Structure 1
């Protein structure tokens, strides 16, 4: 399945500055593998050392937070939008 992945500014160094890149995969895990194949280094910023989504990275398939779906096994239907969003922390 072909999807469009929206890349946050902090990760665009891996995509040559592109804000959106295509990727292939039937699940989020496969999409991340394809991203890594085409944009080396990006998976390490999304996944931790055990291969799970990093705690402070939110990922959505269309409008669904994958943490409340099937995590890395969340289906990525053809034409879906995948958004990688780093969590923002801070305060006064």
Structure 2
């Protein structure tokens, strides 16, 4: 399955400045592996050392937060949009 992955500004150094790239895979895990194969270095910014999504990175397949779906096993149907969004912290 081919999906469009939206890349946040902070990770665009791994995609040659591209804000959106294409990746292949039937699940989020497969999409992230393909993303790493084609844009070396981006994977460790999204996944931790144990292979789980980093705590402060939110990932959506279409409009669904994968943390409330099936995590890395969330299906990524052909034509889906995957968004990687770093969490923003702040306070007063």
Q: Deviations over 1:44-75 (max 9, x none)?
A: 00000000000000000000000000000000
Q: Indicate whether 1:10 and 2:10 are aligned.
A: yes
Q: Deviations over 1:5-57 (max 9, x none)?
A: 00000000000000000000000000000000000000000000000000000
Equivalent in the alignment of 2:69? 69
Gaps of 5+ in 1: none
Deviating runs (4+, > 3 A) in structure 1? none
The 3-state SS of whatever aligns with 1:72 is: helix
TM-score by length of 2: 0.99
Q: Distance in 1 between matches of 2:28 and 2:67?
A: 11
Q: Distance in 1 between matches of 2:62 and 2:90?
A: 27
Equivalent in the alignment of 2:81? 81
Aligned length: 92
Gaps of 5+ in 2: none
Equivalent in the alignment of 1:33? 33
**Alpha-carbon shift at residue 91 of structure 1 (Å):** 1.3
